Amino acid sequence: MDDYLEAFVREGEEHVTNLNNALLELESEPGNEEAMDAIFRTAHTLKGNFGAMGFEDASNLAHAVEDLLDAMRQGDLEVTGDRMDRIFEGVDEIEACLDEIEANGEVERDVSDTVESVRAVLDEAGEEAGDAAGGDEETAGDAAGGDEETAGDASGDGDDLDVDPFAIVDRETVAAVDRRVFHVHVDMGDSQMKGVDGMFVLEAAQEEFDLLGTDPSPDAINDGDYDDGFDLVVASDVADVAATVHSFPKLDDATVTELTDAAGAESEAGGEAGDAEEDASAESADVEASEAASDTASASADDGDEGDEDDEDDGDSPMASTDTEIQSVRVDVDQLDELHGLVEQLVTTRIKLRRGMEGSDRQVDDELDELDKISASLQDTVMDMRLVPMKKIVGKFPRLVRDLAREQDKEIEFVVEGDDVELDRTILTEISDPLMHLLRNAVDHGIEPPEEREANGKDPEGTVTLSAERNRDQVIIEVRDDGGGIDRERVREKAVEKDVMSREEVDELTDAEVEDLVFHPGFSTNDEVTDVSGRGVGMDVVRDTVSRLDGSVSVSSVPGEGTTFTMTLPVTVAIVKVLFVESGGEEYGIPIKTVDEISRMKPVKTVDGEEVITYDETVYPLVRLGDALNVPEETREDDGMLVRIRDTERQVAVHCDDVRGQEEVVVKPFEGILSGIPGLSGAAVLGEGDVVTILDVSTL
């Protein structure tokens, strides 16, 4: 896929996400003008972009969706769940078209059925409103006819209007046209979407007449760059031009003035009429082409903003791009990954160099310190470049929750908090599916049906909240609902039924341990298998994925009040600061973020046959590194060092022979058969190519 097509697809995907979310706002609040503004800007841009790139079928589909939305905006159609389903069906088909363009460079699917389905809603509304609309049109026609007559008597040349029509199209061109030529001044009133509304009028004029010229240009009209209105010069044989103009959507008023008499124009133009008509047609085609190009330019300008009018105006000046300092550039993901790989090599080489130069003179140490500063600064910069805000994946979730809720006849409000929190691109990509599983679980298992909630004295509408918060070098992501909570007795019964545990073992579990069973592979409390859940997959995938990313996931629930799933993830991956410890002559690394305290060995006690260490009256189980890794420790049992792990990770103290220091290293996670070994998470290269094992203290 070439660069232009890829940029088109990426922009299209963003527009589809924005369109979905704006439609959700409109569905929940039909009078939301801000949501409607966003919808029309996006739908109009999608239609124009598809047309400009030559994907006519997709453009027709987007046009159908736009027309249906226009009927809702005009009040001809009420916003209902069924009609929104039809619109969402069209948006899904647009997204499928983008997927095919990305995969094959063209749209291969037949979208005609979806177009007909969308337009069927418009046809139904048109039949219902036909009689009323006819009466209104007749009244408007009479009034418009009077306006035309008055305007014509006032000035045959249109001289008492603010704009001279012959400055838009010269007299020779007007005289050469073998049809009647009119000057149309369009008054848009106080339109809230000048660009979109102006283009509706311009498109209607192109469909009804031959458009000879505009003031300002079609591009400026598309950008909303006009005061209260704009001017058109059109050619037409329509009997009542004024009535036709007044039937156009969006305009507030219009003044129509005839510039020529058809017979007079024919006698003056003679044989030049045919050539002039070709010129007019060519100019009309140019207008259409410039309109499509403007749509594409508008799409590019809108990338990354919310369609601020001031931002659009800035783009009108041809010097704007050269007078303004460029604040950002697009970087290919492969190039960014390559740069990241080079930084990893630099960090590894720095470690080797420092270890190889241990004991050298002071000057070399100073140079090494300077290298540390430079490489650390470069590392931080590259890591920041890889950070992506949560909103990049969160944008598709409101639609997911909405569709699931409708499938199950539930009323659910979806709330997103902290979607501007940033994570490494790799981590963000990996957690998209786990978050989807958690949201599906919240809708299916968490939120009760409206009648059940009301019976329990709760609001019939449930709430599902997705929140993210940065905590130093970690991000805490929560998915919580205000549903019925986890039925612990039901979980116990299912654990016995599925032979996960015996009845005796289940009865001894604490509430927290029972809740943790939802992460067990193949465990589900659903009796029915549905498309949403109940297949016994999902929660174990969540834990596996998060663990692979060096994170953790937990669950807490209050019966009758709701459930919260909490994911704790590192902000970045690969380069980690570790504490080097030694056991049996071998060196190991423990991630610094998991370490709470380092001390000399303390007196050991035995409780229920297990060795424990006491810190400030708190008892911590003792894990001897030599025993856990099956390597002989060189120190006596009452000697050596203790590394106490943070309680948030695991309440335990690790015994080792010695602690050697700390360093940033590039960690490569174990794959294949090594990935499942308890206590091990990956490896790092040090010194003269020595490989050091990085420990996973949560499973050690």
Per the prediction, the chain carries an average pLDDT of 76
Residue 61 pLDDT greater than 80, yes or no: yes
**DSSP codes, 204-260:** HHHHHSEEEEEES-HHHHHTT-SSSEEEEEEEE--S-HHHHHHTSSS-SEEEEEE--
Distance CA(171)–CA(169), nearest Å, equals 7
Residue 448 pLDDT greater than 80, yes or no: yes
Q: State the average pLDDT over residues 181-200.
A: 83
Distance CA(133)–CA(151), nearest Å, equals 26
Cβ neighbours of residue 152 closer than 8 Å, sequence gap 6 or more: 257, 258
| Higher pLDDT pick, 621 / 27 | 621
Distance CA(173)–CA(437), nearest Å, equals 65
Q: Look at residue 481 in the predicted model and tell me its pLDDT.
A: 93
Can you list the domains of the chain with their CATH numbers? 3-130 (1.20.120.160), 155-292 (3.30.70.1110), 333-388 (1.10.287), 390-570 (3.30.565.10), 575-695 (2.40.50.180)
Q: Look at residue 233 in the predicted model and tell me its pLDDT.
A: 92
Q: pLDDT confidence of 518, banded at 50, 70, 90? A: confident
**Eight-state DSSP code of residue 448:** P
Residue 208 pLDDT greater than 90, yes or no: no
Q: State the average pLDDT over residues 459-469.
A: 92
Q: Look at residue 363 in the predicted model and tell me its pLDDT.
A: 67
Distance CA(22)–CA(226), nearest Å, equals 27
Residue 491 pLDDT greater than 70, yes or no: yes
Residue 303 pLDDT greater than 50, yes or no: no
Q: pLDDT confidence of 261, banded at 50, 70, 90? A: low
Q: Look at residue 231 in the predicted model and tell me its pLDDT.
A: 92
Share of the chain above pLDDT 90, in %: 8
pTM above 0.95, yes or no: no
Distance CA(17)–CA(5), nearest Å, equals 18
What is the per-residue pLDDT across 543-574, written as a single tens digit (0 to 9) for each?
888 887 878 888 999 988 999 999 988 887 66
Q: Look at residue 499 in the predicted model and tell me its pLDDT.
A: 82
Distance CA(54)–CA(51), nearest Å, equals 5
Q: State the average pLDDT over residues 354-365.
A: 67
Which residue type, as a one-letter code, is found at position 517?
A: L
Q: Look at residue 675 in the predicted model and tell me its pLDDT.
A: 67
| Higher pLDDT pick, 317 / 101 | 101
Q: State the average pLDDT over residues 375-403.
A: 80
What is the per-residue pLDDT across 581-594, written as a single tens digit (0 to 9) for each?
988 888 899 888 88
Residue 618 tokens, joined: 């708190």
Residue 253 pLDDT greater than 90, yes or no: no
Residue 659 pLDDT greater than 80, yes or no: yes
Q: Look at residue 125 in the predicted model and tell me its pLDDT.
A: 61
Distance CA(130)–CA(659), nearest Å, equals 85
Q: Look at residue 183 in the predicted model and tell me its pLDDT.
A: 92
Q: Look at residue 272 in the predicted model and tell me its pLDDT.
A: 41
Which residue type, as a one-letter code, is found at position 450?
A: P
Q: Look at residue 536 in the predicted model and tell me its pLDDT.
A: 38
Q: pLDDT confidence of 128, banded at 50, 70, 90? A: low
| Higher pLDDT pick, 382 / 95 | 95
Q: pLDDT confidence of 512, banded at 50, 70, 90? A: confident
Residue 31 pLDDT greater than 80, yes or no: no
Residue 109 pLDDT greater than 60, yes or no: yes
Distance CA(287)–CA(110), nearest Å, equals 29
Residue 608 tokens, joined: 């229920």
Residue 46 pLDDT greater than 50, yes or no: yes
Q: Look at residue 531 in the predicted model and tell me its pLDDT.
A: 43
